[in-house]
Amino acid sequence: DAYVVMLTARDTEIDTVLGLTVGADDYITKPFSPRELVARIRAMLRRPRVVATPGAAAEHETTPPRRFAALSIDVDAREVHIENDPILLTRTEFDILEALSGRPGMVLSRRQLLEIIRDGTWVGNEHLVDVHIGHLRRKLGDDAAQPRYITTVRGVGYRMGTGQ
């Protein structure tokens, strides 16, 4: 498990979106200053790395799983299931789902989601959220035209649906 920073001369929006889609945690285009690179890396390193360790649950209070019809989200174990079938999510996808499911019914803008999942350190294209929402919907078996779990509030942002 490692952070991935793409340093590239390709500076179009589609290049950035594709780079982030394939797994980069950050995307920096040339020319860039060494100070900016160091600042971005330090910001990434400040973000907590959640690694499940045996016995860790006994050390703190556990959060009950969040349920939305067939969807179950175990925040402590960072696991997602639909009807007991595990759904594999990237760290960013899980963080977005956790942010939305922790505020059911509340509309969160792209910027708000990025501030929540990146501790206010995000610098870049906010439309990255749209890409991750699309991946989440696909993995959750959600229909973009009639989403059950993640709904779009046009011109505002996203909110967690009931799963119905």
pLDDT of residue 135: 92
pLDDT of residue 59: 55
pLDDT of residue 108: 92
**Which residues have a Cβ under 8 Å from the Cβ of 109 and sit 6 or more positions away?**
156, 157
pLDDT of residue 120: 64
Q: Closest Cα to residue 2, out of 32, 26, 34?
A: 26
pLDDT of residue 49: 59
Cβ(100)–Cβ(150) below 8 Å: yes
- For residue 127, the number of C-alpha atoms closer than 13 Å in the C-beta half-sphere is 7
* Averaged pLDDT, groups of 10, the chain, 164 residues long: 83 86 84 88 73 52 86 92 92 92 89 82 76 92 86 91 72
Q: Where are the domains of the chain?
A: 1-48, 63-164
In whole angstroms, what is the distance from residue 157 CA to residue 103 CA? 13
CATH number for region 1-48: 3.40.50.2300
- 1-48 and 63-164 in the same fold: no
pLDDT of residue 123: 66
pLDDT of residue 16: 86
pLDDT of residue 43: 81
Cβ-count burial of 44 within 10 angstroms (0-12 exposed, 13-18 middle, 19+ buried)? middle
pLDDT of residue 48: 62
Tracing tokens 């759904």 back to the chain, one arrives at 87
| Statement: the pTM of the whole predicted model exceeds 0.85 | no
CATH number for region 63-164: 1.10.10.10
